[in-house]
Structure 1
């Protein structure tokens, strides 16, 4: 992906000519979903398998701040295709394949005047618990995972990775491995596929560290971090 979790087009990419159907907004990443989209999810028009969770604190491209910042709220996005953030419903030959019931952000976006899309950024957005039923068996696992694997520390890494202490590095490495074990247990118990895992738990923690230049290696069945 070009930039972590990019959600909206920058003002600098806008055109005064109106929509040219170039597909740039779709290729830069699927939109974040809002409460106006909840019925589309409940009806199955936008199934969970097409969604990915961007957790609060995950590093994302923020066009209002012109850079990468921690997400201020949890976001639910249409997932990308392959190893890119290109919207899974975008076809380069035919365009949007769900145009008639496209998400609210897509309806609001006009790339030549981004004021309206900027105004709704991280506002009235959906999160996992607003989509799921209260009695869903996976809700307690999501809450426990959020508690045990908070992403609050990413802010410090973004500001100055070199200042991280040895003990903090060890703690983060422990979180990376706990995250994988936790996911594996839930995936096995509930027979989740990859798309479902990415909705329920977002991307693995080790992937969220990679844009910061932190590599990984395997040693005796565990992941180690290369700082």
Structure 2
């Protein structure tokens, strides 16, 4: 209920935009078809990846793959948010979640948040040449498996540590080849392959460092 003197209009504070871009739904497909959104504007969060649920306000593994508008400057702040003027550069054609978002009444967003969300398969045409690469990468770099390896490596499991390094190396090499040999824009890799293993591990408190002796994993608090 609105208190006396309280407004229900948007305060243009930018809080929702700073917390992260919207997750896309089937009704947002037109934004892709009409080139309002490009694949380089998007990031794939894969099934099993630990992510922030803006409705429940918790961190939890994703039950399914989702596509979000990416962040900028190594943050989750939506790339279409202009900090200086507290404005959205695509406001008139903003995605569905942005249109229903109401700071004073979260019910509309709660009702739609986990409904009709799209995945990479919805945005790529049948028979797309990258489907095989995506499937292979997903199998070798499964987020749930990475979480388990990171936990074991933190507890001094040498085999888990070695396997985690191998997966990071594979992920780095696939991304390099996709750009150098496949001609993909580097900005599109977070859509096609999801976030890098380094980014996922950083969320688990694991840093990847390259030195004269090769790759080293540094565990926060250890």
TM-score calculated relative to the size of structure 1: 0.83
Following superposition, the deviation at residue 158 of structure 1 comes to 8.6
The correspondence for 1:204, drawn from 196, 200, 212, is 196
Query: Which ranges of structure 2 fall in alignment gaps of 5 or more residues?
Result: 1-5
- Structure (1 or 2) with the larger CA radius of gyration: 2
Q: CA RMSD in A?
A: 2.4
Partner of 1:77: 68
Q: Does residue 175 of the first structure (1) align with residue 167 of the second (2)?
A: yes
Partner of 1:90: 81
Following superposition, the deviation at residue 175 of structure 1 comes to 1.1
The correspondence for 2:21, drawn from 10, 30, 34, is 30
1: distance between equivalents of 2:45 and 2:209? Answer: 25
Q: Which moved more, 1:83-92 or 1:156-165?
A: 156-165
2: distance between equivalents of 1:147 and 1:210? Answer: 20
TM-score calculated relative to the size of structure 2: 0.85
2: distance between equivalents of 1:16 and 1:62? Answer: 26
Q: How many residues align?
A: 213
Counterpart contact for 2:18–2:76, Cα < 8 Å:
yes
Query: Which ranges of structure 1 fall in alignment gaps of 5 or more residues?
Result: 1-14
- SS of residue paired to 1:20: coil
Counterpart contact for 2:150–2:161, Cα < 8 Å:
no
Following superposition, the deviation at residue 64 of structure 1 comes to 4.5
- SS of residue paired to 2:176: helix
Partner of 1:217: 209
Q: Which moved more, 1:114-123 or 1:208-217?
A: 114-123
Counterpart contact for 2:18–2:78, Cα < 8 Å:
yes
